[in-house]
Chain A
């Protein structure tokens, strides 16, 4: 069900504020501790006017705390929260004018749909007539006109969510904050609702911050994605940037599957065992001999049974196919590269030595390869086939031996 277009051109649900900066909300150097444990460390980001930003992180990464700090439900130990140019760090939640869509929607159970939506206006003591007009317009916008007299428990999850959104839009929020908005719904409804919300947000032009642990959801909902790990910001960028140029190993592995190999920068190449992978652009920021991590996605790997890899594919190593799986829309291959972990001396970067995999002895480093259906049908592989392995794209990350060496 698509959401009704708001036909009245004069109605905007975005806040009536001058947009001099184009920045709707910004979080500046926010830190938060709880007792001895650090929850957030020096988090800074901006949300542009009309933009959707997704805070993506595992549970315990601090993403909910950021949301609560923006909403004013929690105080940061350090740092500021700025909404449309105004520092609101010291303002209580009710004076900030942000709209929070809580995980379970937090609709008022003793109020009907229309009373829930009109609550913010009633609190602001708007005249009854004006309240009714706004509620009617919002009911139309979220297509709940025939449900106006119902109570929250009589609505489906998706309808409840639309009430929750309308309830915040009523008072023209500075920013909408969505706390795991699809957590309580089944998989099919999720996909449908996220498209609905996306188109609704494009209509109302209110900037939004989502928090989620679901990478697929993040890629679909966000104009930009901020990846959080253990209280700090790993990377912030468009879905394309974050997925294809992950800044850290955590980002690479959290957003989708990724293979990881260790190497050393040598003359514009990444040396991995005996293999030399040409990577002039990717290694430009590293010094000669620096220990690096090579990160590449399963779909960026090409395999070939003859020595000639397709155009644009840089040769990595040879390997043996260990397993072939059909996973619906694509095919998954487990490949053992002809490389094994070398026992390394102390202070020496961990590297690989050459090994030859045989069907009896699979000792090489395993990688995961995915191939789209047409490719899988064109050349069929079976376990035990020897192949040449190349990469179409990959990223090179510094290999810190200590996790906190950033």
Chain B
């Protein structure tokens, strides 16, 4: 037993501080500093400047528009994602796997391509859009933003809910049926409570992703300030105009929003999975 140059058992282990240091050293410029710089820069000219940039009418509108469109997209995707996950996990039919793959596809498609595809479909000369009159065109309105958000974030809620359905023991639902419950009662009292964690985290993920959506939104919304400009588009527009403070104020809000959502997801994981019903 002469080979003991590296001590694994006791004493000072050099590998520990070195590996932690290397990890942080790489993360710092790549991940941590960029986030930090938003806050440092945003507040460098005082909170007054930050505040006035934040309450500018176009800025408020952009934030509101982002939140409202993301809300509707989230509502739709969670509801429909739940339904789709139920159908695809409970029923076997020809082409089922093809549908599952297709549903997950939007995550892999560049968002600009997604926006472009929506334009081709819903635009004035698009396959569906051409049946709409001039006044009822969908593109370049807030509805287009919702459509883009739905498309881009569709797989998120579905992806979280489907595995829960797949692993859920059928005997719970069978037990409920033998006890005398209808399908609806079983779904409401038995299935849904087990899915609560998945639904909440699916919704948070969808919302976080939708609020930050840029690539598809810039193509389908028209990017009109005060009309169809979402928060990420506002940041981009203000930056292009050289109004760094205005862009930065919104950037801080979006970054904080993401922090909150991901903290909830991270710290509330236990609660989401094991939380019990009200006493």
Query: Footprint of B on A, CB under 8 Å?
Result: 71-73, 92-100, 102-104, 106, 108-112, 115, 119-120, 122-124, 149, 151, 167-168, 171
Contacts and interface: CB of A to CB of B under 8 A. Distances in A.
B240 interface: no
Given A108-B190, A110-B277, A111-B277, A120 B174 contact: no
Contact of A123 (B169, B185, B279): B185
A380 B142 CA distance: 97
A98 B177 CA distance: 10
Given A109-B194, A110-B193, A151-B276, A98 B178 contact: yes
Nearest to A170: B179
B179 A120 contact: yes
B133 interface: no
Interface string B170-212: 0110111111111001000110011010000000000000000
A100 B171 CA distance: 10
A167 B179 contact: yes
29 contacts: A71-B174, A71-B178, A73-B174, A73-B177, A73-B178, A93-B174, A93-B177, A94-B177, A94-B182, A95-B180, A98-B178, A99-B178, A102-B171, A102-B175, A103-B171, A104-B171, A106-B174, A108-B172, A108-B176, A110-B193, A110-B277, A111-B277, A112-B276, A112-B279, A122-B189, A123-B180, A149-B279, A151-B276, A171-B180
B175 A94 contact: no
A16 to B, nearest CB: 16
Contacts of B193: 108, 110-111
Nearest to B277: A110
B178 A93 contact: yes
A168 B174 CA distance: 13
B276 A110 contact: yes
B177 A92 contact: yes
Contacts of B172: 106, 108-109
Interface of B: 169, 171-172, 174-182, 185, 189-190, 193-194, 196, 276-277, 279
B184 to A, nearest CB: 11
Considering the complex of A and B, which 10 residue pairs feature the smallest CB-CB distances, nearest first? A106-B175, A110-B193, A106-B171, A93-B177, A120-B179, A100-B178, A102-B171, A123-B181, A94-B180, A110-B277
Contacts of A95: 180
Contact of B181 (A94, A96, A167): A94
> Most A CB atoms within 10 A — which of B175, B190, B196?
B175
A124 B171 contact: no
B187 to A, nearest CB: 13
Contacts, number: 76
B180 A97 contact: yes
Nearest to B183: A94
Given A106-B169, A110-B193, A110-B194, A171 B174 contact: no
Contacts of B175: 100, 102, 106, 108
A98 B194 CA distance: 25
Contacts of B196: 110
A194 B176 CA distance: 25
Contacts of A97: 180
A73 B175 CA distance: 10
Contacts of B194: 109-110
A97 B179 CA distance: 7
Contacts of B176: 108, 119
Contacts of A92: 177
A120 B180 contact: yes
Contacts of A71: 174, 178
B277 A94 contact: no
A109 B171 CA distance: 12
Contacts of A72: 177-178
A119 B174 contact: no
Given A94-B182, A97-B180, A123-B189, 10 more contacts: A71-B178, A93-B174, A93-B178, A94-B180, A102-B175, A106-B174, A108-B172, A115-B277, A123-B180, A149-B279
B279 A171 contact: no
Contacts of A94: 177-182
Contacts of B182: 94
Contact of A168 (B169, B171, B179, B181): B179
Contacts of A124: 180
A151 B279 CA distance: 10
A123 B189 CA distance: 10
Contacts of A73: 174, 177-178
A41 to B, nearest CB: 25
A74 to B, nearest CB: 10
A83 B63 CA distance: 64
A90 B171 CA distance: 21
B178 A123 contact: no
Contact of B179 (A103, A109, A171): A171
B174 A100 contact: yes
B40 to A, nearest CB: 45
> Most A CB atoms within 10 A — which of B174, B177, B178?
B178
Nearest to A72: B178
Contacts of B174: 71, 73, 93, 100, 102, 106
A108 B188 CA distance: 12
Nearest to A168: B179
A213 to B, nearest CB: 19
Nearest to B177: A93
B111 to A, nearest CB: 37
Contacts of A123: 179-181, 185, 189
Contacts of B169: 104, 106
A106 B178 CA distance: 11
A171 B180 CA distance: 9
Contacts of A93: 174, 177-178
Contacts of A102: 171, 174-175
B178 A119 contact: no
A190 B190 CA distance: 29
A119 B189 contact: yes
Contacts of B180: 94-95, 97, 120, 123-124, 171
Nearest to B185: A123
Nearest to A124: B180
